[in-house]
Structure 1
Amino acid sequence: MARRSTPAGPALFDGEAGRPDFSHETMLIDRGARVVAGVDEAGRGPLAGPVVVAAVRLNPDRIPAGLNDSKKLNATQREALFDLIMASAEVSIASAPPDEIVARNIRGATLAAMARAVRALPTPAERALIDGRDVPPGLPCPGLALIGGDGRSVSIAAASIVAKVTRDRMCAVMETDAPGFGFAGHKGYGTAAHLRALVDQGPSRHHRNEFAPVAAALAQRRTLA
């Protein structure tokens, strides 16, 4: 398979300087790994909702233009790139719900979801590029951890976009299930309005009750009762 990348996508993006590239993937392919996946997560920091992980194997001949760390893109760019990634790459998505986060802690739940996402790829990965410091236990292939990987590898950047868009859509569903918390807006993060709602209403089934800000809000609620 040729390794030339052909940009595809809407003209939503400025110059390519400083963007992630395909060099880490090329290095692994040149060493004999035919299937290289990028892995990233969204949702480690919020007080509610799941951690969502995506694993993405890009087609080297159909790499969407403008891939970058999802945090450096706006919602319109992420949605456009999500559609291009889903149409051109192999993708799998896994999540860890609040009860797993409580049982494993946030790090353990995230790493477990990463391993599940890689195992679920349609074509088994031979190498995995992981955003962060840790290679998850239970991967079906060797992994390489890249600190700041979503800004260095286009495969990880693609995974960050898929994970972020998927989780944002899940937060919109959470808003419908538990109105009054504002999940569709703050995505579960600990905004002042979110913390006030916790004190006023108590937790929903989507909250991570062991997280310190949630526990503090619930303690305040009991004091006011």
Structure 2
Amino acid sequence: MAVAAKPVTVFDVYDRAKTGPEVDEKQWDFKMIPRTASELKKKYDIKLDKNQIIPTDMGMMKRLFKAGMEMLVTCGIYCIDTKRVIKYTEQEVLDALAKAPKEFQFGEVGLHGRLVKCRKHTDACSPIIQGGPTGAPCSEEHFLAIHQSYAKEPIVDTIVDGVLQTIKGKDPTPGTPWEIEAVKSEAIMVRAAQDRAGRSGMGL
């Protein structure tokens, strides 16, 4: 009987981020990633069809998956804080994919929450549409109104919020109490914006 593979835990990832191969960030960004991508593009005969953004050819999709898998296993994931590479085996990646949930609830169960499901390229159901400033800086004065305008759009399923430029006139410098105050205020105001738009319970 085959022994079940041990799942990769957050502790494993932390340890690998502390002990993985040391790599300079610029070497990673400008040498390792582009070089590997170029090599895999040739190896798997990856070609861009400008007339078809999302490929539907099964052969191409399989080659893209294999190239993506090899890219991940070869390059790993770079940890900026430790300047080391977190490495995974192909089997660890496959096991994680097999155990990944096929659906999850985004927002509250009800009229304005959404059940996010795994979609295939031939799926007839519409994708989830996320609306919002998506990390863009917003003024304190207009933050609530900006998010309310997104929440009012019927086509928008969930909100991806922006960030406050200031909080009570102060700069929300990372690592300071003002940053914490800004993040809390963002969440409170986005919820208020959803309520005002009549979309309480939307995912955020």
TM-score scaled by length of structure 2: 0.25
The structure with the largest alpha-carbon Rg is 2
Which structure's relative contact order is higher, taking Cα pairs within 8 Å and 6+ residues apart?
1
